[in-house]
Amino acid sequence: MNKEIRAKIIGVGNYYPEKILTNHDLEQMVDTSDEWIITRTGVKERRIAAPGEATSHMAAKAAKEAMKNAQILPSEIDLIIVVTVTPDMNFPSTACFVQQRIKASNAACMDLSAACAGFPYALCVSQALIKSAQYKTILVIAADKLSSITDWKDRNTCVLFGDGAGACILRPTNSNKGVLSVYLGSDGRKADLLYVPGGGSLNPASYRIIDERMQYIKMRGSELFKIAVKKMVDCAHEALKLCKMTTDDIDMLVPHQANIRIIKAVGKRLNLEDKKVFINLEKYGNMSAASTVTALNEAVLKKVIKSDDIVVLSTFGGGLTWGGAVIRW
């Protein structure tokens, strides 16, 4: 009997901008303190893209690292998916700019927008396309320049976000490794808990939009907290259920790196020891979907995740969107 075909990650790569913005730097910008930020968020520093450094620049650098790690040529890539909420421009897609930068001339290109939960969404699409044999080598990149939509006068949000990109190469396998399951969900009724109201077709760019600072992230953090914890726990349970596993099977949880209190609450509700929850939030802050990818990649590169480990991803973001995945490494 033929074994099931699934997508397997064969190479990973991260990119972080050089500039580091510390909590002490933020103390000079808004009414806040290092202690306040660490206590409430867990973030100590974050990376900020250089002037003129767009999402596609960061995405391409992460992609090149992933291709090097996977030992594949640009010409072998069939499809490029860029997960982002900060595209270079409305169109063409950021994926097209990445294609140009990495010279992947044979690839189809598209962007995917699911905010911080975007990586499991991209894994779901990749899994389906690989199972159908329509594509063989898929490059998934999560990249965001959140500094470009962060209100640096809003002390409640500006302390959270940073810039960066993470990439992975997926190919088919008939082994027992790879993406075992993906679980996705959304609730558009609560879109106004985390969104950018200005700059789209509803509120196009104008002097009014700028005067009212509508081009920046708006967030109702206290309302999001409880929902985020519940949905991230649900994500893990549902994704595990799809492949007939339980939390006892988890070797490593890689959650969206949004807030240390959310991550700790999720780990506690899943009855996981601290060593089974990977956290790098303190160094990079929240980079939207890139947070989960870069954390996964960092855990792999540091050999915290080993061959045959069961890795669970759990994410939550604006939309509202959420997603979980189970991967046998």
* pLDDT surpassing 60 at residue 322: yes
Residues 6+ apart with CB under 8 A from 240: 181, 246, 247, 249, 250, 312, 326
Spatial separation of the C-alpha atoms in residues 258 and 253, rounded to whole Å: 14
Short-list 141, 34, 26, CA closest to 87: 141
User: What mean pLDDT comes out for the span 145-168?
Assistant: 97
CA angle in degrees (0–180, nearest 5) for 297-302-305: 70
Task: Give the model confidence (pLDDT) of 68-81 as tens digits.
Answer: 999 999 999 999 99
Task: Give the model confidence (pLDDT) of 207-228 as tens digits.
Answer: 999 999 999 999 998 899 999 9
Residues 6+ apart with CB under 8 A from 235: 120, 183, 185, 314, 315, 316, 322, 323, 324
Task: Give the model confidence (pLDDT) of 173-183 as tens digits.
Answer: 999 999 999 99
Spatial separation of the C-alpha atoms in residues 7 and 135, rounded to whole Å: 10
Spatial separation of the C-alpha atoms in residues 157 and 216, rounded to whole Å: 10
Spatial separation of the C-alpha atoms in residues 309 and 215, rounded to whole Å: 42
Count CB-CB contacts under 10 A for residue 301. 14
Say how far residue 228 (Cα) sits from the centre of its chain. 15
Any idea what DSSP says for residue 49? P
pLDDT at 3: 77
What are the Cα distances from residue 291, in Å, to 90, 193, 295?
Answer: 23, 20, 6
User: What mean pLDDT comes out for the span 221-248?
Assistant: 96
Q: Residues with catalytic annotation? A: 116, 256, 286
Spatial separation of the C-alpha atoms in residues 257 and 314, rounded to whole Å: 10
Is-above-0.85 flag for pTM? yes
Short-list 19, 307, 310, 13, CA closest to 163: 19
pLDDT at 2: 53
* pLDDT surpassing 50 at residue 146: yes
Among all chains, which residue has been given the structure tokens 């061959």? 307
Tokens matching residue 270? 């899943």
pLDDT at 20: 98
Please, what is the average pLDDT of the chain? Answer: 97
Say how far residue 312 (Cα) sits from the centre of its chain. 14
Spatial separation of the C-alpha atoms in residues 88 and 93, rounded to whole Å: 8
Spatial separation of the C-alpha atoms in residues 196 and 318, rounded to whole Å: 10
User: What mean pLDDT comes out for the span 17-25?
Assistant: 98
> What residue ranges define each of the domains in the chain, with the CATH number in brackets?
6-174 (3.40.47.10), 180-328 (3.40.47.10)
Task: Give the model confidence (pLDDT) of 88-124 as tens digits.
Answer: 999 999 999 999 999 999 999 999 999 999 999 999 9
pLDDT at 1: 39
Tokens matching residue 234? 């649900």
Task: Give the model confidence (pLDDT) of 28-81 as tens digits.
Answer: 999 999 999 999 999 999 999 999 999 999 999 999 999 999 999 999 999 999
